[in-house]
Amino acid sequence: MWFAEAMADRIDTFSHDNLTFDVLDTGPLDGEVIVLLHGFPERASSWAQVSTLLNEQGYRTIAPDQRGYSPGARPRRRRDYTIDKLVGDVVALIETIGRPVHLVGHDWGSNVAWFVTMQNPDLVIDLTAFSVAHPAAFLRSLLGPQALHSWYMGFFQLPFVPELALSGQWAPTRYWMSRGGLGRDELARVREEIVDYGALTGGLNWYRALPFADRRSFGRRVQVPTTMVWSDKDLFLGRDAPAKTAEYVDAPYDLIVLPGVTHWIQTQAPESAAAAILERVSG
Active-site entry in 25, 89, 107, 240: 107
List, in sequence order, the alpha helices (H) in the chain.
48-56, 83-97, 108-119, 135-141, 146-149, 152-155, 161-164, 171-179, 184-190, 200-208, 240-245, 265-268, 270-282
CA distance 150 to 137: 14
Q: Do 11 and 97 form a contact (C-beta atoms < 8 A)?
A: yes
**Residue 6: other Cβ atoms inside 10 A:** 12
207 classed as catalytic: yes
Catalytic annotation present for 263 = yes
Active-site pick, 59, 69, 81, 207: 207
Strands 226-231 and 253-258: parallel
Q: Of 217, 275, 272, whose CA–CA distance to 248 is shortest?
A: 217
Catalytic-labelled residue, pool 16, 134, 149, 263 = 263
Active-site residue, 102 included: no
Q: Which amino acid is at 113?
A: A
Say if residues 92 and 35 touch (Cβ distance below 8 Å). no
What is 228-282 written as a DSSP string? EEEETT-SS--SHHHHHHGGGB-S-EEEEEETT--S-HHHHSHHHHHHHHHHHHH
Question: Active-site positions?
Answer: 107, 207, 263
